[in-house]
Amino acid sequence: MSKGSAMFSQYFPPKAKWGVDDIPDLSGQVIIVTGGNAGVGFETVKALLAHNAKVYIAGRSEKKVNEAIKELQTQTGKTAFFMPVDLSDLRSIKKGVDEFVQKESRLDVLFNNAGVMWPAVEMVTAQNIDLQWGTNVLGHFYLTKLLAPTMIATAAAQGKPSRIIHTASSAAQSHPATEGVKIETFSDGPERKKRTTEVLYGQSKLGNVILSNEFARRYADQGLVNISCNPGNLRSDLTRHIGGVKKKVIYMMCHPVPLGALTQLWGGTSSEGVKHNGGYLIPWARVGVVPPQSQDAALNKAVWEWMEEQVAKVEAQ
């Protein structure tokens, strides 16, 4: 299959053969969904609650998360819980995880679902990192690293792997090879400002796949399954920074938000999903080909080391 036909299959997927009704009973499982108050995250949380999981919504705005929790309770009769985490601030992530592990001794699945798309190039994180890379990749890197000990212990106690699902995008595959992943554009500075917000977004989504690949390679023998996925092109709140005609054109190729939850739910809950450590899933609940640009071992190592350095700076303060 050519690259063009493979991408067409993701833009316009065949009818799903797996649905939320196929999710097994999740009683006893503890799950975190970042960005679970809106869009694909909301639909993911709703399906998990409906199958008896205990779900924490990790988000920045307590008001927005509590509004989502109220709506989810109306729709499912189940209650989710707020986990205060601002992915654009590494200190907030540490604080949020510290509070979580005081409450819970297990974590079965982590959905690294939250993301920001096409904000103004001037926008940066609390640590002066490009907002899209800092939120979509670095923030999830630190969150996952901090939660890994709890997930490893859960896997050992349950006798089955814990799972981490990294939500990427079709942009991970369409990102120009000429741009690739440039470490000098991660922090604010002249090189970053030369890029458009669209290029920086594609780089961050490729970063999500790199992150999944590296966690898969480094933690597989400790009981962690890491999978990245393209949830599909969706009419979601992720497009909030896009306006006018551009948004209308994009929406012509987009699908209803509930469909976007299927692929990550399949990876995170099905018996089949656990077999795909280091894999890449595509709409709707299918196995795809890992984007070639994410397969450079030297680059992946360099990206991982850069993220470790950023975390070390904050932890040393």
Find how far residue 40's CA is from the centre of its chain: 10
Instruction: Name the CATH code of domain 25-316 (choices 2.60.40.10, 3.40.50.880, 3.40.50.720, 3.40.190.10).
Output: 3.40.50.720
Q: Where are the domains of the chain?
A: 25-316
Dist CA 317 CA 314 (whole Å): 5
DSSP 284: T
Tokens coding 286: 């299918």
End-to-end CA distance of the chain: give it in Å, rounded. Answer: 51
The string of pLDDT tens digits covering residues 225-268 is 999 999 987 665 555 545 555 545 555 566 578 899 999 999 99
Dist CA 232 CA 118 (whole Å): 17
Closest Cα to residue 261, out of 7, 55, 1, 92? 55
φ, ψ of residue 267 to 5 degrees: the values are -65, -35
Dist CA 61 CA 84 (whole Å): 8
Are the beta carbons of 114 and 62 closer than 8 angstroms? no
pTM of the model: 0.92
Return the pLDDT at 180: 86
Amino acid identity at 213: N
Residues assigned a catalytic role: 169, 201, 205
Q: Given 3-state DSSP classes, what are the helix, strand and coil percentages for the chain, each rounded to the nearest 5?
A: 55, 15, 35
Residue 102, burial from CB neighbour count under 10 angstroms (0-12, 13-18, 19+) = exposed
Closest Cα to residue 36, out of 79, 65, 74? 65
Return the pLDDT at 7: 65
Residue 240, burial from CB neighbour count under 10 angstroms (0-12, 13-18, 19+) = middle
From first to last of its 317 residues, what are the pLDDT tens digits of the chain? 445 555 666 666 788 899 999 999 999 999 999 999 999 999 999 999 999 999 999 999 999 999 999 999 999 999 999 999 999 999 999 999 999 999 999 999 999 999 999 999 999 999 999 999 999 999 999 999 999 999 999 999 999 999 999 999 988 888 878 788 999 999 999 999 999 999 999 999 999 999 999 999 999 999 999 999 999 876 655 555 455 555 455 555 665 788 999 999 999 999 999 999 999 999 999 999 998 889 999 999 999 999 999 999 999 98
